[in-house]
């Protein structure tokens, strides 16, 4: 039996905790997934990563693996005699058994009445990514996944629920590779990315956008029809609104998947005409001559000492 260095496979220290193990696995699984990489040896590398993760995430298997000690990867070895007594697997010889199969059989061997038949093997987990529009993230949609199975590949229709956000991960239980010898089917981990939107900037379930106002609209106040993901609404801009102010519209953001919505924020930017008619120029000059407003002077605070 050949030794496999599972810690080196995942690029982690031997004292790594479960969160570090999961983080390393997710990163490598995305990098070496056959759907993401066409490099030679990708399939074998992906299998090694999954094998290492399956062992190290399980406390019993990891403890048994650690008891084997450290040795060069690929070195032929046999577990010490006491290991066989501590972790009976029903195997009479270690010559024709793989290390991963040996460790996978530990839990089965500890169950009462376990026989000497084939070891149940859990199906392969898949990690894949789907890119959707902000509108689809708000209302949900059906997506088609192309999965590269051992049998050649298959197509799967998946429902992305309303209210998903950038970076969210959906777990599709039992939709991964088929288990063997009675083992459970694997899962699919679907990573959500949202395409940039022409108007809105999402922040969780809140949405932000820039609202351009003319100087007189900001000074006098105005009612403006603005777009949301679910239709136009009327926004009241108060008189004296300054550039940089943020106006909040409650429950006008994205669906949150629980029957509610985030908020919609309008970020005020005051714009001016690039060119002026003669009449406009006259009016601006008249305003400049009568107005006492100076944006470069900080107004004195009331009741200042």
- The rounded distance, in Å, linking the Cα atoms of 214 and 247 is 16
Side-chain half-sphere exposure of 293, counting CA atoms within 13 A: 6
The whole-number pLDDT of residue 154 equals: 82
Same fold, 126-194 and 201-290: yes
Q: Which residue has the tokens 């239980």?
A: 173
Q: What 3 state SS string does 26-59 have?
A: HHHHHHHCCCCCCCCCHHHHHHHHHHHHHHHCCH
CA neighbor of 270 nearest in space, from 297, 241, 298: 241
Determine the topology of domain 126-194 in CATH.
HSP40/DNAj peptide-binding domain (2.60.260)
The whole-number pLDDT of residue 208 equals: 98
Phi, then psi, of 163 in degrees rounded to 5? 90, 10
> Average per-residue pLDDT in the chain?
83
The whole-number pLDDT of residue 93 equals: 46
**Residue 122 zone, left/alpha/beta (φ > 0; ψ -120 to 50; rest):** beta
pLDDT above 60 (res 113): no
- Give the tens place of pLDDT for each residue, 50-98: 888 888 988 888 888 887 777 787 777 666 555 555 555 544 444 555 6
- The rounded distance, in Å, linking the Cα atoms of 195 and 193 is 7
Buried/exposed 259-297: b ≥16 CB within 10 Å, e otherwise = eebbbbbbebebeeeeeeeeeeeeeeeeeeeeeeeeeee
The whole-number pLDDT of residue 86 equals: 53
154 class by beta-carbon count within 10 Å (0-12 exposed, 13-18 middle, 19+ buried): exposed
Q: Given this structure, which CATH class describes domain 201-290?
A: mainly beta
> Domain spans of the chain?
6-110, 126-194, 201-290
pLDDT above 90 (res 193): yes
DSSP line for 225-264 = EEEETTEEEEEEEPTTPPTT-EEEETT-S-B-SSS-B--E
- The rounded distance, in Å, linking the Cα atoms of 246 and 282 is 32
pTM score > 0.75 for this model? Answer: no
The whole-number pLDDT of residue 263 equals: 97
- Give the tens place of pLDDT for each residue, 254-287: 999 899 999 999 999 999 999 999 999 999 999 9
Domain spanning 6-110 has what CATH number? 1.10.287.110
- The rounded distance, in Å, linking the Cα atoms of 69 and 71 is 7
Paired tokens of 7:
């810690």
The whole-number pLDDT of residue 37 equals: 67
């Amino acid at each position: 039996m050949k030794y496999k260095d599972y810690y080196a496979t995942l690029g982690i220290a031997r004292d790594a905790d479960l969160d570090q193990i999961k983080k390393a696995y997710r990163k490598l699984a995305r990098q070496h997934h056959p759907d993401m990489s066409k490099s030679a040896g990708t399939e074998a590398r992906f299998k090694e990563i999954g094998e290492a993760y399956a062992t190290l995430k399980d406390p019993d298997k990891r403890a048994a693996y650690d008891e084997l000690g450290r040795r060069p990867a690929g070195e032929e070895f046999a577990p010490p005699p006491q290991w066989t007594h501590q972790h009976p697997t029903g195997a009479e010889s270690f010559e024709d058994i793989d290390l991963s199969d040996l460790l996978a059989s530990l839990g089965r061997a500890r169950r009462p009445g376990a026989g000497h038949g084939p070891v149940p093997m859990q199906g392969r987990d898949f990690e894949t990514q789907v890119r959707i529009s902000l509108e689809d993230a708000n209302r949900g949609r059906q997506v088609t996944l192309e999965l590269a199975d051992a049998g050649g590949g298959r197509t799967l229709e998946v429902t992305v629920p309303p209210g998903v956000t950038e970076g969210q991960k959906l777990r599709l239980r039992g939709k991964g590779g088929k288990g063997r010898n009675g083992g459970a089917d694997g899962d699919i981990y679907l990573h959500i990315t949202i395409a940039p939107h022409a108007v809105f900037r999402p922040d969780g379930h809140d949405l932000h956008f820039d609202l351009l106002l003319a100087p007189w609209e900001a000074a006098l106040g105005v009612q403006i029809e603005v777009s949301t993901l679910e239709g136009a609404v009327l926004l009241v801009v108060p008189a004296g609104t300054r550039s940089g102010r943020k106006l909040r519209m409650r429950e006008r953001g994205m669906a949150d998947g629980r029957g509610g919505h985030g908020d919609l924020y309008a970020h005020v930017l005051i714009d001016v005409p690039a060119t002026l008619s003669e009449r406009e120029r006259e009016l601006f000059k008249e305003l400049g001559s009568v107005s006492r407003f100076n944006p470069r002077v900080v107004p004195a605070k009331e009741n200042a000492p």
